[in-house]
Structure formats: structure tokens, C-alpha cells
């Protein structure tokens, strides 16, 4: 049952989506439907919401569910204390800000013994109430005198007043309006500052920028905040929020000192100062810091997910034979593995390209024999230490040992090897490739990344791939959940063959968990390939819900039912057969036949079980049954004369590959094993709000070297000064040409045009 209160809040937050569609979305979500399934196969039910917007609404829904649950807890605690009133209950139900909700709950929360608690036990609360009222014309000393009682440990008038101050300070600190005032002022006027930790002597580090740093709380970018958090975690920095305390106290005095002529107004002032400095400041500064951290985490995780998506959806070379090379950091033995078109290792060897223990002739002969035996489409080397030497060795061999026409057929590819060593030593790799050693498994995973990046990279924990921004600092639970959703979205977008996909890939298909995936693999290993999607139901773990969620994202090449190898869901097969029958053709003739499909009237097939949007999606899948959302492969051409930072000079124009995108810029591999940074201001000649709008991971770009810092191994690059905008930037700036009547192209009239016109007129 969908909570109507939460539904009404979401309807206000997303006015462009009707409440009925939001309700339908939440009901599908509660029935365990994935966002990919809803967007692809239930578009009419949710008003055509795309997957990204569905995920955004569901994230907000989960936040509201937590808030609603928290309200239930708070109302229960207050009701048990006998202090719940209709007015208080209504106010709590109306809150949507979690900090304001906690403010109103604060006086009712169980808490440790305080000085105010002791003062109340000694009977000083009536004195505090009289002073707080600020109406008595009597001097405070006379008011407090009757409360002096040595038996209650109140020896003097000042001791009585001090106890009253502690009680009033608690009232100040527990006042929701006062807390909101302080929180808002810290947010608007506070400064986030960092300084070098006292245990360091000021030596250079990557945190030099933050040794004496200050920036307004409300405008500090997330990447700077995360950098400071990492510096604090590594004990290089100390960080805090500062604010003009007198400015805050002036606002609080306006709120609580209502009678400046009251003889005891200085006592009220003491209570305000004590309540602010001792009971509010640290806690509320912590709340603001938590809010900043949550915002920074959300931005960093969003960037990580977009980068991961771009990486997973990098171009796939497909089913081609290839050779993988895992360069050795020491330059000694290098493992080489040849794989067939399916990615199965067929031969393993070792070469010694140098510089240590170099055996150039023996190594060249070994690699040449592998090439001749297996006819690879590419030779893939890892991007780590030693890769430049390995790539140079391969280039030299191809140029010397093979004719130029044949050499061109074999591509040289340098593959990002982030996470490869982690995978090669993982339990998954040992189970899958138990007969191979770790170095060979690394070479194998690199060449498989070339064949199909998605299928191979999802075997690695995304946090180890290295396309994030301070991923080890952010909320790890939230990060894991978001990355998992991003991986599943990519797998569902591409599809997985149930007969060939790995256990890891099947586990990312909508509706299939790791346990079900393992049983699918065990079943096909025991009984052979599936002949149809319906055969999956023979597995006990694949119930009706699992099949419904997964079937549309699974493929079966060569299945008895041709539609099983398309993105069309089995629940729509009958509609496709009806379309084919209406055209008097076989179903197989309809699949991929764009001319016939364009003649189909979509509205004719709308019914109770399928809406117009779903029919259009079905026709799209019929037109492009092998549609792959991944773009074409690009390759950067590195300058062979540049292999280290020492070879670089300012002003050089180079080509490189984007390896990571953050909210402060992009990192580009230019072939020196130290990625250069293109600051966001150097990405484009026009303003760039989000670097992801200008570049994407895997894109080949032209860059200009701006500066080289060999001491700290840093390279500053520019795309806008290189003269050629990135492909993503060009796409972002591309605008539609204005429509014109008649001719589409307008060019200057030439003498030849005039001659043609004269000749035409002469014949009339």
C-alpha cells in the first residue's frame, strides 16, 4: 500500500509527472520491478519516464520513507512521555527537513545528565522561569536570595543564579527557531577552513593548497571538500567551520532578550552566550558539516556512476582473436596469452623485451610464432609500468617481421589496466581460470576488455577501476548501491546471452541475483545450452517474477524462437506474430525489415495489455534487433618520441585518451604513464558547467601541454588551446539548422549559375 502522504509530497516535487504515474511507479517498485524493466517494458504505466528520472524519483521516495519512519519513532517517544499534543503532532508531520525535525524532538530525547539537570533537581527551575519571563522589576539578587540553601548545595546567590543560567541556556539551545537561526547563519556566512596539522613540519605534499585555506560554506565545491576530508583522514590537515560569533549572538539576543530594561538582562545574556557556545555551536556545526559531506558524496558518487557508465559502454571489438600482454613492472618476464574469438585462452607464452634480462631475438621469435598461428586482430598491452617498452617492442616486431599490408591489419592497443591485478587475484578469477597463474590471468582480462569491456570490467569491484573522485572517502554503502545500479543499467542496455554470459554478467541482469545467476550457469554446464528462454523456467530459482524481469534483457543466439535473440519481451511475442500475420509474412521476415515495419500502424495493436508507447518500443526493437548503445572504438596515436615527463615541453600538441572525469576537469593519458589534468576552464572555449558535457571516458582528444611539474609528477593540459574541440563538446554545441523553404544549401551565385539561367531562358 503506497503511503498517500509520501505520494502527495512526490507529486509536488515532480509536477510534470502526474500523481497517477508516480503511484504506478511506486507500486511497480514495491513489486520488485527494476528501473530498467519499468522504463523499457512499462512506459505507458509510468507516463514514459526514462530510467534516469525513474531512479531519481525512487531515490527521493526512499528518503521520504526514511523520514516518515523517523517521524513515527519521534511521535511514539513523545506520546509515551505523555507530552504529545495535536498541535505538536501536526507540526512534526509537516516537517520535510530532517534537521528541523530533530530540533523539535531534541527536548524529548533521552540524554545524559547535564548541569541543567542538576539545577532542576535542586529546585532552581522556578527561579529560571521568573528570570526568563523578564517581567519582575526586582533585582536578580533579591529574586534569587530565597533559593539559597546549603543543604541543596546552593551556598550563595551567585550559585543560584548560575544554576538558573544553565537551565535557561538549555532552553536557548533546545529552541527550534534559535537552532534554525544558527544553522542558517553558519550556512550563509560561515567559512570552511583548513590548516596544516601540527604534527607536520610544512614539507611539500599534495595538500599544499589547503595549508591555509578558507572558503564560504555555502559555495565550497565538493571536490575541494573531499580533498580536505582526505587530508584530514591522512592526518595532514585540520578542518573546521568558523563564523563571526558576535554576529550570531546579536541575532539570538534579539530573539531572547525581549526586555532590555529588565534588571537581569545580563543574566539572560549569559544564558544565551552559554547556550550558543557550549550547547549549540559544536552540534550545529557538525550538522552543517554532515550536510556538506552528504552533498559532496552525492556529487562524487554521481560523477563516479557517469564515468563508470561511459567506461562500461566503451566500444567492444567483438568476437575477434587477439593477443594480450601483461607488462612487467621490472621489465623482466612478460606474460603473453592468445585468445580465440570467444575469449578462450588457446596459448600462453613468456617474452623478455627488456630492459632487464632482455632477450630480444628469442622474444621476437616467440611473439612472431604466436601471431602466425592465431592471426590476431589486435595485440593488447596493459597501461601500467613497463607498457611503453612492451608497446615499442610490439611495434618494432610488426614493422620488421611482417609486410606493411599485413601489419596494418593488426591493431596495437594499450588498455587501461586499473583493477586487472585485483581481478587476477580474486576468488572469481581463481574459480574461472584455475589453471592459469595471476600474471596470465591479468593478460587475459586485458585482452577480454578489448573484446567486450562491459562483460569483463563488471567482474571487478567498480571502486578498483579508478574512474571515481575520492571514492574511498565517500559513504561506501551508498556508493556500492549506486554503482551496482549503474552496472545493472549498462548490462540491461546491452543485453546478455544466457548461453555465453559469465556468472558475473548474468548476476547484473534485471531480476537475477548472484544465487540465481550461479544456478543458471550450473544448469547450462550440466544440461547444455538453452534452446529457448522458456527453458530458463526449468530452474527452480527462476520463478515467474524473475523471468518477467529478466527475459527482455536476455538473448539466445540461434534459439528455436528467433524473437529470443532480440530485446522484445516474450509477453509481446504474440503481438509481433499478429503483425507478421497481418502482413502475410513469417515472423523471421519481419525482424530487421525496416521497410515493412515502417508501414505498420502502431495504434492498431494498442490494447489492454500494451499501450502506444510500448508498441513504439516494440517496433524500434524490431527495426534494430542487434542494436548496441556502445559507440565506435577510438584510438589515440601517441608520439613515439615521448615516453616520460622529461620528454615533454610546454606548448607541445599531443593526442591522448580521456581516462577520468571529475567536477574540476578531466584526466588524459598522453602516453607517459602519468595522466595530465585538463582543468574545467581549459575544456572548451565556451563555459562548461559540467565536464561530462564536454568530454567522456575513452574519448580521444587533442591537447596542448601548458605546464609540467616533474617534482610532483603533474601535467597541465588544455583542450581549448589545442584548437580542436572534443567530440562530446561538439555534440553538446551542435544546434539544428534553421528550416528553409526550397533549397537547403545556400551558396554564392557563380558565373556558371548565371550562364545556366541564361541558357534556360534562351530555350523558352
Helices (H), 313-437: 360-374, 387-401, 404-407, 420-424, 427-432
> Residue 237 in contact with residue 197, Cβ under 8 Å?
yes
Q: What is the rounded distance in angstroms from the CA atom of residue 435 to the CA atom of residue 433?
A: 6
In 3D, which of 533, 492, 483 has the Cα closest to residue 511?
492
**Residues 709 and 667 grouped into a single domain:** yes
CATH number at residue 657: 2.40.50.140
Across residues 438-455, what is the average pLDDT?
91
User: Who has greater pLDDT, 748 or 60?
Assistant: 60
Residue 285, pLDDT above cutoff 90: yes
Q: What is the DSSP string of 296-362?
A: HHHHHHHHHHHHHHHHHTS----S--EEEEE--TTSS-EEEEEE-TTS-EEEEEEE--SSTT--HHH
Across residues 27-47, what is the average pLDDT?
95
**Residues 583 and 617 grouped into a single domain:** yes
Beta pairing, strands 237-242 & 322-326 = unpaired
In 3D, which of 73, 265, 287, 254 has the Cα closest to residue 179?
287
Question: What count of residues does the chain have?
Answer: 764
**Residues 662 and 701 grouped into a single domain:** yes
pLDDT band of 199, cuts 50, 70, 90 = confident
> pLDDT tens digits for 703-748?
999 999 887 788 999 998 887 666 666 555 554 444 433 333 344 5
**Residues 592 and 668 grouped into a single domain:** no
In 3D, which of 635, 632, 630 has the Cα closest to residue 412?
635
Structural domain harbouring 582: 561-623
Per-residue confidence (pLDDT) for residue 269, from 0 to 100: 95
**Residues 610 and 569 grouped into a single domain:** yes
How confident is the prediction for the chain on average, in pLDDT? Answer: 88
pLDDT band of 687, cuts 50, 70, 90 = confident
Q: Does any domain span residue 422? A: yes
Q: What is the rounded distance in angstroms from the CA atom of residue 39 to the CA atom of residue 57?
A: 13
CATH number at residue 423: 3.30.420.140
Percent of the chain with pLDDT strictly greater than 90: 59
Which grid cell sits at 79?
506520546
Specify the number of domains making up the chain. 4
Q: Does any domain span residue 700? A: yes
Which grid cell sits at 334?
612478460
> Residue 413 in contact with residue 315, Cβ under 8 Å?
no
For residue 174, how many other CB atoms are within 10 A of its CB? 19
Q: Give the SS3 label for residue 212.
A: strand
Q: Which of 108, 128, 162 is the last residue before a domain boundary?
A: 108
Q: What is the rounded distance in angstroms from the CA atom of residue 32 to the CA atom of residue 475?
A: 25
In 3D, which of 294, 284, 326, 510 has the Cα closest to residue 414?
326
Residue 355, preceding bond cis, omega within 30 degrees? yes
Q: Which of 90, 108, 126 is the last residue before a domain boundary?
A: 108
The beta strand positions in 142-234, using DSSP E, are 191-196, 212-216
**Residues 615 and 717 grouped into a single domain:** no
Q: Does any domain span residue 285? A: no
**Which of the 8 DSSP states describes residue 149?**
B
**Residues 572 and 684 grouped into a single domain:** no
**Residues 349 and 430 grouped into a single domain:** yes
Which grid cell sits at 509?
541482469
CATH number at residue 18: 1.10.10.650
> pLDDT tens digits for 494-536?
999 999 999 999 999 999 999 999 999 999 999 999 999 999 9
**Residues 598 and 678 grouped into a single domain:** no
Q: Does any domain span residue 469? A: no
Beta pairing, strands 665-669 & 653-662 = antiparallel
**Residues 332 and 419 grouped into a single domain:** yes
Find all residues with CB under 8 Å of 748, minimum gap 6, and list them. Answer: none
For residue 196, how many other CB atoms are within 10 A of its CB? 20
pTM of the model: 0.81
**Residues 433 and 332 grouped into a single domain:** yes
**Residues 596 and 663 grouped into a single domain:** no
Q: Does any domain span residue 467? A: no
* Gyration radius from the chain CA atoms: 34
Per-residue confidence (pLDDT) for residue 746, from 0 to 100: 43
Q: Does any domain span residue 36? A: yes
Per-residue confidence (pLDDT) for residue 92, from 0 to 100: 93
Q: Does any domain span residue 27? A: yes
| Block residue for cell numbers 529457448 | 532
> pLDDT tens digits for 646-686?
888 899 898 888 888 888 888 888 877 788 999 989 998 88
For residue 606, how many other CB atoms are within 10 A of its CB? 16
CATH number at residue 601: 1.10.150.310
> pLDDT tens digits for 95-111?
889 999 999 999 998 88
Q: Does any domain span residue 339? A: yes
Q: What is the rounded distance in angstroms from the CA atom of residue 659 to the CA atom of residue 410?
A: 24
User: Who has greater pLDDT, 179 or 662?
Assistant: 179
Q: Give the SS3 label for residue 640.
A: coil
Per-residue confidence (pLDDT) for residue 383, from 0 to 100: 78
Residue 279, pLDDT above cutoff 70: yes
The beta strand positions in 507-647, using DSSP E, are 554-555
Residue 338, preceding bond cis, omega within 30 degrees? no
Beta pairing, strands 653-662 & 676-679 = unpaired
Which grid cell sits at 487?
552496472
Amino acid at each position: 500500500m503506497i503511503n498517500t502522504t509520501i505520494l502527495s509530497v512526490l507529486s509536488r516535487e515532480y509536477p510534470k509527472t502526474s500523481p497517477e504515474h508516480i503511484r504506478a511507479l511506486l507500486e511497480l517498485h514495491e513489486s520488485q520491478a527494476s528501473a530498467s524493466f519499468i522504463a523499457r517494458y512499462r512506459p505507458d504505466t509510468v507516463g514514459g519516464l526514462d530510467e534516469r528520472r525513474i531512479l531519481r524519483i525512487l531515490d527521493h521516495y526512499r528518503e521520504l520513507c526514511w523520514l516518515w519512519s523517523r517521524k513515527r519513532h519521534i511521535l511514539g517517544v513523545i506520546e509515551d512521555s505523555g507530552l504529545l499534543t495535536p498541535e505538536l503532532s501536526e507540526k512534526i508531520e509537516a516537517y520535510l527537513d530532517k534537521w528541523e525535525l530533530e530540533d523539535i524532538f531534541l527536548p524529548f530525547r533521552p540524554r545524559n545528565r547535564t548541569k541543567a539537570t542538576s539545577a532542576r533537581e535542586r529546585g532552581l527551575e522556578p527561579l529560571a522561569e521568573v528570570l526568563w519571563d523578564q517581567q519582575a522589576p526586582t533585582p536578580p539578587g533579591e529574586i534569587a536570595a530565597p533559593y539559597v540553601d546549603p543543604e541543596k548545595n546552593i551556598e550563595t546567590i551567585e550559585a543560584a543564579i548560575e544554576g538558573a543560567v544553565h537551565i535557561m541556556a538549555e532552553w536557548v539551545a533546545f529552541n527550534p527557531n534559535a537552532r534554525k537561526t544558527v544553522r542558517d547563519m553558519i550556512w550563509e556566512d560561515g567559512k570552511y577552513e583548513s590548516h596544516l596539522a601540527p604534527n607536520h613540519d610544512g614539507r611539500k605534499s599534495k595538500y599544499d593548497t589547503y595549508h591555509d585555506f578558507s572558503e564560504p560554506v555555502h559555495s565550497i565545491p565538493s571536490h575541494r571538500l573531499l580533498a580536505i576530508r582526505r587530508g584530514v583522514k591522512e592526518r595532514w590537515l585540520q578542518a573546521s567551520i568558523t563564523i563571526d560569533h558576535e554576529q550570531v549572538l546579536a541575532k539570538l539576543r534579539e530573539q531572547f532578550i525581549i526586555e532590555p530594561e529588565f534588571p537581569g538582562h545580563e543574566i539572560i545574556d549569559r544564558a544565551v552566550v552559554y547556550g550558543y557556545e557550549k550547547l549549540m555551536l559544536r552540534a550545529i556545526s557538525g550538522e552543517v558539516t554532515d550536510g556538506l559531506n552528504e552533498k559532496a558524496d552525492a556529487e562524487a558518487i554521481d560523477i563516479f556512476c557517469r564515468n563508470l557508465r561511459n567506461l562500461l559502454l566503451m566500444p567492444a571489438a567483438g568476437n575477434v582473436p587477439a593477443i594480450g600482454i601483461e607488462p612487467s613492472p621490472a621489465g623482466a618476464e612478460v606474460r603473453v596469452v592468445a585468445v580465440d574469438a570467444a575469449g578462450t585462452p588457446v596459448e600462453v607464452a613468456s617474452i623478455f623485451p627488456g630492459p632487464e634480462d632482455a632477450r630480444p631475438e628469442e622474444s621476437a621469435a616467440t611473439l612472431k610464432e604466436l601471431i602466425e598461428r592465431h592471426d590476431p586482430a589486435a595485440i593488447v598491452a596493459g597501461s601500467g609500468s613497463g607498457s611503453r617498452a612492451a608497446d615499442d617492442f610490439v611495434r618494432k616486431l610488426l614493422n620488421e617481421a611482417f609486410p606493411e599490408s599485413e601489419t596494418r591489419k593488426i591493431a596495437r592497443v594499450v588498455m587501461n589496466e586499473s583493477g586487472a591485478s585485483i581481478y587476477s587475484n580474486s576468488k572469481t578469477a581463481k574459480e574461472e581460470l584455475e589453471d592459469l597463474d595471476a600474471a596470465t590471468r591479468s593478460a587475459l582480462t586485458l585482452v577480454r576488455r578489448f573484446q567486450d569491456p562491459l562483460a569483463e570490467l563488471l567482474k571487478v569491484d567498480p571502486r578498483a577501476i579508478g574512474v571515481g573522485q575520492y571514492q574511498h572517502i565517500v559513504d561506501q554503502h551508498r556508493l556500492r548501491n549506486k554503482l551496482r545500479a549503474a552496472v545493472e543499467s549498462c548490462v540491461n542496455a546491452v543485453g546478455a546471452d544466457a548461453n555465453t554470459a559469465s556468472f558475473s554478467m548474468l548476476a547484473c541482469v534485471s531480476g537475477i541475483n548472484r544465487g540465481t545467476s550461479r544456478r543458471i550457469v550450473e544448469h547450462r554446464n550440466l544440461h547444455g545450452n538453452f534452446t529457448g528462454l522458456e527453458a530458463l523456467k526449468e530452474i527452480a530459482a527462476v520463478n515467474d517474477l524473475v523471468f518477467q524481469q529478466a527475459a527482455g534483457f536476455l538473448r539466445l543466439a540461434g534459439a528455436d524462437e528467433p524473437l529470443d535473440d532480440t530485446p522484445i519481451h516474450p509477453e509481446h511475442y504474440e503481438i509481433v506474430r499478429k503483425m507478421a500475420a497481418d502482413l502475410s509474412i513469417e515472423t523471421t521476415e519481419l525482424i530487421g525489415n525496416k521497410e515493412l515495419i515502417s508501414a505498420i500502424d502502431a495504434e492498431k495493436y494498442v490494447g489492454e495489455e500494451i499501450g502506444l508507447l510500448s508498441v513504439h518500443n516494440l517496433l524500434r526493437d524490431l527495426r534494430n534487433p542487434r542494436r548496441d548503445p556502445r559507440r565506435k572504438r577510438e584510438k589515440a596515436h601517441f608520439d613515439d618520441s615521448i615516453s616520460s615527463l622529461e620528454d615533454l615541453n610546454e606548448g607541445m600538441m599531443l593526442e591522448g585518451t580521456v581516462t577520468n572525469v571529475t567536477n574540476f576537469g578531466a584526466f588524459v593519458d598522453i602516453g607517459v604513464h602519468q595522466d595530465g589534468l585538463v582543468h574545467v576552464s581549459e575544456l572548451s572555449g565556451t563555459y562548461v558547467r559540467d565536464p561530462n558535457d564536454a568530454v567522456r571516458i575513452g574519448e580521444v582528444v587533442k591537447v596542448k601541454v601548458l605546464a609540467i611539474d616533474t617534482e610532483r609528477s603533474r601535467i597541465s593540459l588544455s583542450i581549448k588551446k589545442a584548437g580542436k574541440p572534443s567530440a562530446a563538446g561538439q555534440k553538446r554545441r551542435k544546434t539544428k539548422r534553421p528550416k528553409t523553404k526550397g533549397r537547403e544549401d545556400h551558396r554564392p551565385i557563380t558565373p556558371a549559375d548565371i550562364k545556366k539561367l541564361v541558357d534556360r531562358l534562351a530555350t523558352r
